[in-house]
Amino acid sequence: MEVLKADILILGAGGAGLFAALHAYDRNPRLKVVVATKGLIGKGGCSRMVQGGLNVVLNEKDSLENHFQDTLKGGGFINNQELAWTLVSDAPKAVHELEVKVGCFFDRGEDGKIHQKPFAGQSFDRTVHVADLTGIQLISRMTDQIYARNIQVLEETRGLDLLSSKDGHRIVGALLSDIRTGEIFVVNAKVTIVATGGCASMYKISAPSFDKTGDGMAICFRAGAEFVDMEMVQFHPTGLVAGRSRLNGSLLEEGLRGSGARLYNGLGERFMERYDPVRLERSTRDRVARSSFMEIMAGRGTENNAVYLDASHLGAEFVEQKFPGMVERVKDIGKDLAREKVEVTPTAHYQMGGVRIDTHCQSNLKGLLVCGEDAGGVHGANRLGGNGICDSTVYGRRAGDVAAALASEEDIHPYQETEAERMRMGWLRPFLRESGENVYEIRDEIEDLMWEKAGLLRTGNKLTEAAERLDYFLEKIDSANVAHRYLAHYNMEWNNIIDVTNLITVCRMVVNSARCREESRGAHYREDFPETDNEKWLINIYQTKGEGFHLNLTQKPVALNRFRRDDIEDRFFEKVKKK
């Protein structure tokens, strides 16, 4: 195998990965920084798809404490409070740097100051944006800055597994695959940053880009990383209903509801009056998504098992001016967002759970930093809209700074060559089989299973069924074959086998953790345990890889180092009640 040496290897080129690369290089330009991305730099990933914007305290009438409280309240108070505080306190610095250094200029108000719009679940309008196409601006400008530096980019290159040092005490790079040629090779690095994004595509209706299949999480899991609160998967309330089109499940951004767009069921009722009569459509994502799903399940949805989003009363000129990207997206399916109601459905969107990290993005594995959606703990049980790209930029910056400091101090450690060869041969096994399971059928079954058994409404029995089926799918995918056995370059069937292997790995963690948490909190709703139980379940659930198929699971009380239990109960907490 070819071996490439690097000081810092970054897997992923979304907001977190790109900002990490820029900060690492600028901290020490003598370091060799290598970025590997599954797609094309600046064109793939979820950060580019961000519509709404980034939450940040800029207005003197707002405060870091308010943003922090909103983040904890939205997260059901199981957030890692130090991570959440770092998020809100670093956000102003990140936004300043994005404008002054990266060249991403946010929309201005009439007073010339950065405009901040309303988003759901927040006590102040603090979301900065570039119309409703913020992600394109962020990623485009970051990509420009990458090209302006001596940073090596490996496009259409995916991570397969992390590599250990010969003494087994640290991560020293990764095994990668060039999708274009099929070649498997090694990047031996002092520090490795994983920032590949989440795995919401495990559900049949989902919003992420198609390259997001939980690769980073699965890679970290196989290497022995510890995960936290993997049961917490967010469903966005307003995924576009577009039949068999690839637009099905794509987002209509939260700013629409923040600006006053309303939700109606198939009977014409403004149903959020039943579920959150105070905040209505500006309630948190978990509650709005679950309410929509309950309406559909109760038979009050549309003919397409959806609900309606109506922004027409806001005025066509306003909608077209403020939400041009959404207007164009809806126009692609023959509808007019500015003048008529549009069918929407909850869509799997984001994972709050992920690799356990500290405020320096360090995992439990030496030499491995994790940031962005691969990391858990920042958002608790539910992420506020606008806190996602905030997370990517804040912790991407931190990961880059920490990686540069570590790489400047460390010597490069050799990897275990026998381990790398064993991994390589394992990934090549599908080419050696003359027949086997069909990977596309397996993926369809997994997406249906997760939607029906481990989606918005869960029960212990459903989750047990899901766990048993996932073990079965893990065996099936291990016997999948590649039809074009002698064609490795751009072999999408082989890459789908890798994708589904990683999907199953993440699905099993989600289901295992969801079975454990016998209460409802944030995005996790158990029909058999519909109440939130602070006495028993104000805890975090941790997982690591065990022997064979086994998953090691432990529970620890949430560290209430900034908000005490009395503060939560008396001042801020709202119990989840079965409707």
CB-based contact 428:184 (threshold 8 Å): yes
Residues 356-389: tens digit of each pLDDT = 999 999 999 999 999 999 999 999 999 998 999 9
* CA count, 13 A, side-chain hemisphere, 536: 9
Per-residue pLDDT tens digits for 26-53: 999 999 999 999 999 988 877 777 877 8
For residue 524, what pLDDT is reported?
96
In sign, the C-alpha dihedral spanning 64, 70, 71, 72 is positive
| Tokens describing residue 461 | 């029995």
Q: What is d(CA 517, CA 343) in angstroms, rounded to the nearest whole number? A: 33
CA dist., res. 9 & res. 98, Å (int): 23
Closest listed residue to residue 281, CA positions, set 128, 386, 385, 126: 385
What is the pLDDT, as a whole number, of residue 570? 59
Determine the Cα–Cα distance for residues 5 and 3; give it in Å rounded to an integer: 7
Tokens standing for 385? 């809209």
Q: Who wins on pLDDT, 8 or 562?
A: 8
Percent of the chain that is helix, strand, coil (3-state, to 5): 40, 20, 40
Helix (H) or strand (E) holding 4: strand 3-11
Structure tokens at 201: 């595509």
pLDDT in tens, 492-507: 999 999 999 999 999 9
> Max alpha carbon distance in the chain (Å)?
68
Burial 449-470 (b: 16+ CB within 10 A, else e): bbbebbbbbbbeebbebbbebb
pLDDT at residue 575 above 50?
no
Q: How far apart are CA 420 and CA 382, in angstroms?
A: 38
Bridge partners (DSSP) of residue 108 are 114
Query: Is 236 annotated as catalytic?
Result: yes
**Residue pointed to by tokens 């409703």:** 132
Q: Which residues pair with 376 in a beta bridge?
A: 356
For the ranges 85-99, 430-444, 471-485, the maximum mean pLDDT occurs at: 85-99
Q: Which of 248, 266, 250 is nearest to 310 (CA)?
A: 266
> CB count, 10 Å around CB of 14?
31
Structure tokens at 69: 């409280």
Nearest residue to 79 via CA among 381, 287, 358? 381
Q: How far apart are CA 53 and CA 253, in angstroms?
A: 10
pLDDT of 209 > 90? The answer is: no
What is the rounded distance in angstroms from the CA atom of residue 412 to the CA atom of residue 415?
A: 9
Tell me: pLDDT of 579 over 50.
no
Residue 136 tokens read as 């394109």
Banded model confidence at residue 139, pLDDT cuts 50, 70, 90: very high
CA–CA dist 489, 554 (Å, integer): 42
Region 103-114 average pLDDT:
93
Please check whether residue 378 is in contact with residue 84, taking contact to mean a CB–CB distance below 8 angstroms: yes
> What whole-number distance in Å separates Cα of residue 462 and Cα of residue 449?
10
Q: What is the mean pLDDT of the chain?
A: 92
Would you call 370 helix, strand, or coil by DSSP? strand
For residue range 167-201, what is the model confidence (pLDDT) as tens digits? 999 999 999 999 999 999 999 999 999 999 999 99
Q: Quick one: average pLDDT of 402-421?
A: 95
Choose from 358-367, 531-540, 556-565 the range with maximum mean pLDDT: 358-367
Helix (H/G/I), strand (E/B), else coil: 407: helix
pLDDT of residue 577: 35
Radius of gyration of the chain (CA): 23
Is residue 336 pLDDT above 90, yes or no? yes
Domains of the chain plus CATH, in order, are 236-347 (3.90.700.10), 421-572 (1.20.58.100)
- Cβ-proximal residues to 230 (8 Å cutoff; 6+ apart), any chain: 351, 353, 354, 376, 506, 509, 510, 512, 513, 541, 543
User: What pLDDT was estimated at residue 469?
Assistant: 96
pTM, two decimal places: 0.93
Q: What CA–CA distance (Å, rounded) separates 266 from 299?
A: 9
Other beta carbons within 10 angstroms of residue 259's beta carbon come to 17
Using an 8 Å Cβ cutoff, are 156 and 181 in contact? no
Q: Which of 141, 236, 287, 290 is catalytic?
A: 236
Secondary structure letter of residue 45 according to DSSP: S
DSSP-H helix ranges across 75-158: 81-97, 134-147
Residues of the chain with pLDDT > 70, as a percent, come to 97
Tokens of residue 52, six digits:
């709404």
Report the pLDDT averaged over residues 297-322. Answer: 93
Q: Say yes or no to pLDDT of 433 above 50.
A: yes
Banded model confidence at residue 255, pLDDT cuts 50, 70, 90: confident
Instruction: Determine the pLDDT at residue 569.
Output: 59
pLDDT on residue 361: 98
Residue 240 confidence (pLDDT) above 50: yes
349 a catalytic residue: no
**Which of 141, 257, 383, 515 is the catalytic position?**
257
Token pair in block for residue 394: 């804040």
CA–CA dist 378, 32 (Å, integer) = 30
Distance CA(435)–CA(136), nearest Å, equals 43
Rounded-to-integer distance, Cα 525 and Cα 513, Å: 13
